[in-house]
Amino acid sequence: MKHILLATTALVATAGIASADLSIGGWAEIGVADNGSGDMQYFQDIDVTFRASGETDGGMSFSAGVDLDENGAFATNTHGGATIGVSGGFGNVTMGDTDGASDWALTETAIGGSMADDHTAHAGYSGNSALDGNEDGQILRWDYSLGAVGVGVSLEQAADGAASTDDDIVQVGLRYSMDMGGSTVGLGVGFADAGNQTVTGAAGDSDHIALSLSMKTTGGLTGVVNFTDGSSAGRDASHLALGLGMTMDALTVGVNYGEHEVAGATASGVGLAVNYNLGGGAVFQVGYGDGEGTDTMSVGLALSF
């Protein structure tokens, strides 16, 4: 009887798997890195991701993913690297470790990759997600695209039970892309209203408006300009960023510059990434970052599975 029950359970489980699309992927990195201390050290990192997707009889698709590089991936009230999405004629609804609508609409200035993220870790860099994750990091976003136009709205709730008086973070994003003689031009606009927020020990009104302009030519040249203006915890804040990259066959070179200004104090930096695609998921990477007196760099292989 026990054997029959086990066999039946296995069949039911297998049937469920067969009706869905399940995949396991990830990446690994191996090389050397200098975190600014002046000494090169061994560097290694590994990440495993699980993805699952399916579709209802009515054509609505759904998916879920978890990143096992993150702690607390399965916690119910934190993002923890987990994301769940539902898509249909109504657009896309995503909850978890995802971008806010402003970040979703904009293009980052980083071009290429580096093992230790040196090109994006300098003092002047912004990934366009200044307010994302300021609460518990669990974001709910709806977005809808029709041809070249896209619109998104997101909400990140104030951390449940937190002692602070932070408010919810509401964002709106708009993006548009067009083909100009073979070159692709993208425009993004982001709005954020976070009310009272606690940022690096200060508290006050936080909001922003952000603009992004990008171009990618058929010759492999990519350029990005970003500008953000608003307030951070009651202080005037702005950010300017430039990115330029070139891809020639297997070689990609990208450089970016950024400058933050908060309450009159500035912080700037520059990042460089040099990538050579070896094929089969292996990329040789060199990364460098220089910002406010701190230099970092890394050299090695990034391996995708």
pLDDT value at position 119?
Answer: 96
Tokens of 191: 């709005």
Length of the chain: 305
pLDDT value at position 10?
Answer: 41
Smallest CA-to-CA distance from 155 within 126, 131, 127 is with: 131
CB 189 within 8 A of CB 210: yes
DSSP state of 177: E
| Average pLDDT per block of 10 residues along the chain, 305 residues long | 39 46 92 90 92 92 84 49 92 94 96 95 89 81 96 88 75 95 93 85 87 95 96 91 97 97 93 97 97 93 95
CB 284 within 8 A of CB 301: yes
Determine the Cα–Cα distance for residues 262 and 9; give it in Å rounded to an integer: 60
CB 95 within 8 A of CB 134: no
Smallest CA-to-CA distance from 172 within 105, 108, 126 is with: 105
